Amino acid sequence: MKQLLLPILIILPLIGVPMTATAAASSSSDANQYIGQTGYHTQTVGDVEVFYREAGPKDAPVILLLHGFPSSSHQFRNLIPLLADNYRVIAPDYPGFGSTVAPARGEYTYSFDQLGETMLGFTDALGLEQYSMYVFDYGAPVGFRLATANPERITAIISQNGNVYEEGLTEAWNPLRAYWKSDTQEDRDALRGVLTHETTQWQYYTGAPDARKHLVSPDAIAHDQAILDRDAEIQLDLFSSYKTNVSEYPAWQAYLKEHQPPVLAIWAKNDPFFGPAGAEAFKRDVPDVQVEFVDAGHFALETHVKEIAHSIRTFLGAL
């Protein structure tokens, strides 16, 4: 019997016999079966090949995740699956970070203005007409450039230690402030210690409660250090450029005051770089801001991803 059936099974599709209902259902579900799983993609923006992670239904509301220093979209690896059932989640790597392929220093200007331009081109290329954005660390100056360029696109802002107020900058910024003021090679070279493995490890563990330090991934530390080791000069250029972000704070505050986007400031209260005052300061310009604190350090998603995901879903779900 098996010998008779085999030729028939081979021939039937060739002569147009319809698939069984089971086979048709299986085929039609192919496009949807990976919705909750993170996919890895690239998008050409000028001379840059932007790498990004994406998960969730294509027709769902978009959340754009903008990473910090010295990481990449890799920092969102645990958050994305916790949001992707109800949202289309997109997390790009900036030029100079992660798996994005960009021209060498000298052929591409590694400044925050340029990162903003590239990310603006990225959102245009993907046709993101409206989205909420999660901004962390470097993600704030990138994200607020997107917001001021196209205010109508921003449906909400989740700021996890994404600072836009001077009082949010702690004393840990003093070496950078010295470099911004002097612009000397000596002060630039003094910042090279920030790019070492010891400092990267310190950023991950400082402020994390002892009971949760085992949740900090050594792979994340190694990933970030590999980024820093590729080209220290790119990172130092961005350190220099960060002073332009501080200069833009009044413009970004004016955007908040004028447009009143819904804001969730969910702050790691033990962050050595961006203190709790940076979260409280949003109240000046967005009276309805929702401020929450978690007992975490700079990389709060390593130790408190479930709490942060719950707050995001509650916040966005209420809009």
pLDDT (tens digit, 9 = 90+) per residue, 148-176? 999 999 999 999 999 999 999 999 999 99
Separation between Cα atoms, residue 298 and residue 137, nearest integer Å: 9
pLDDT (tens digit, 9 = 90+) per residue, 55-87? 999 999 999 999 999 999 999 999 999 999 999
pLDDT (tens digit, 9 = 90+) per residue, 176-223? 999 999 999 999 999 999 999 999 999 999 999 999 999 999 999 999
At 9 the pLDDT is 38
Q: Model pTM?
A: 0.90
3-state secondary structure of 236: helix
Separation between Cα atoms, residue 93 and residue 74, nearest integer Å: 9
The residue ranking higher by pLDDT, 34 or 83, is: 83
3-state secondary structure 46-111: CCEEEEEEEECCCCCCEEEEECCCCCCHHHHCCCHHHHCCCCEEEEECCCCCCCCECCCECCECCC
Q: CA angle, corner 177, sides to 172 and 183, nearest 5?
A: 140
Band of residue 32 on the pLDDT scale cut at 50, 70, 90: low
Give the residue carrying structure tokens 């979260």. Answer: 279
Q: Could you give all domains of the chain from N- to C-terminal order, each with its CATH number?
A: 47-317 (3.40.50.1820)
- Which of 74, 223, 298, 304 is catalytic? The answer is 298
Active-site residue flag, 298 = yes
Residue at 244: amino acid letter? T
Residue 90 pLDDT more than 80? Answer: yes
